[in-house]
Amino acid sequence: MAVKRYERNPLLAPADIPPLHHEGEIIGVFNAGVARWGEETILLLRVAERPHQHADSQVRTFVYDPDAKAWSVRSFSIDDPTCDFSDERLVVTHGVTYLTSLSYLRVARSHNGFDFTLDEGVLLSPNNAYEAFGLEDPRITFIDGTYFIHYVAVSPWGVCTVLARTSDFRTVERQGIIFGPENKDVAIFPERLNGKYYCLHRPTAPFAQHNEIWLAESPDLMCWGNHRHLLGLRDGAWDSHKIGAGAPPVRINEGWLEIYHGANDSNCYCLGALLLDAEEPQRILARSQDPILVPEMDYECQGFFGQVVFTCGLLHEEQLLKIYYGASDTSIAYVEIPIGDVLSSMEAI
């Protein structure tokens, strides 16, 4: 497969982003939503910030306090036997799972797709109790002249997905939570099918111990129903442990092409493809046996959480998938893959 990574990857790294908080440091800029806005390519960046870590004996993170409408620092002693620090993204305590950084969403713009300038200010940062631990992994779907942003909101209540809308990426309106906890990796289709909106989503099912992809439909983008299980894990494969939708599906002649992420049992995240029927997206036509993108480069293997390539957005132009992806939960990189190569690598189902 002709996988062409940009030679100056990563496009954006933590050093490119100034922290918001006087005590803060940026540890990641990754998993960006992507859109075309006139001549510009827009990246809606997930920026992860944490307080400077003063001592090895403590883990310090930010949380948003909705009553004070301010960030505060929360410290945990690494000797505290009631806390589990084994996943560097989390501090798991009795009753509440915290994150080790707080994420928010900023806009960067480019005229050539490679050199990005950061907008002043922040487009979306925590402003209510559902967002107390941050906003993550935005996807953008353009429908009838409006850009719909769907992002993950994290709080002591868990992980939800929120819908917001914008027309210019300078002002934005939150519409509300569209999937309650635990649900993330929502990817809304850019067209109505049979008069209805469709999305992929990923409920977490502790009972079944499965994190798999579901399909839902909606009359208005806010109320989602007719949920159907769509895609499962595969034992022993690159997508054996967790899967979730990546970028919003792309309409091609053969149907809907979805680039999704899969993690294996060692938590290595790769990208693969799924082809769905054009009119009946619950019908899977083909799926990648092998991933289309595997962490191989230094910036994909090493970082805050290594061995990760993860996408929230791509552009479909000139028969190419132009994929912007998070590398190691640290930086943003770019790769081009011809659609024909992706299709011919897939196996019919």
Residues found near ligand MAN in the complex (CB under 6 A): 31, 89, 136-137, 269, 305, 308, 310, 326, 329
Task: State the minimum distance, in angstroms, from the CB of residue 36 to ligand MAN.
Answer: 24
Per the CB < 8 A criterion, the answer to whether 153 and 48 are in contact is: no
267 versus 319: smaller Cβ distance to ligand MAN: 267
148 - beta bridge partners? 141, 165
**CA–CA separation, 260 and 71 (whole Å):** 33
Q: Nearest-CA neighbor of 33 among 141, 115, 192, 184?
A: 141
41 versus 101: smaller Cβ distance to ligand MAN: 101
Task: State the minimum distance, in angstroms, from the CB of residue 80 to ligand MAN.
Answer: 23
Task: State the minimum distance, in angstroms, from the CB of residue 250 to ligand MAN.
Answer: 21
245 versus 315: smaller Cβ distance to ligand MAN: 245
199 versus 271: smaller Cβ distance to ligand MAN: 271
255 versus 313: smaller Cβ distance to ligand MAN: 313
Task: State the minimum distance, in angstroms, from the CB of residue 160 to ligand MAN.
Answer: 14
137 versus 217: smaller Cβ distance to ligand MAN: 137
Contacts (Cβ under 8 Å, ≥6 apart) of 62: 21, 24, 49, 50, 51, 71, 72, 73, 74, 101, 102
136 versus 300: smaller Cβ distance to ligand MAN: 136
Q: Is the dihedral of CA 207, 276, 338, 114 positive or negative?
A: negative
30 versus 197: smaller Cβ distance to ligand MAN: 30
Task: State the minimum distance, in angstroms, from the CB of residue 159 to ligand MAN.
Answer: 9
Task: State the minimum distance, in angstroms, from the CB of residue 345 to ligand MAN.
Answer: 23
137 versus 258: smaller Cβ distance to ligand MAN: 137
Task: State the minimum distance, in angstroms, from the CB of residue 269 to ligand MAN.
Answer: 5
Task: State the minimum distance, in angstroms, from the CB of residue 334 to ligand MAN.
Answer: 17
Per the CB < 8 A criterion, the answer to whether 332 and 325 are in contact is: yes
Task: State the minimum distance, in angstroms, from the CB of residue 211 to ligand MAN.
Answer: 9
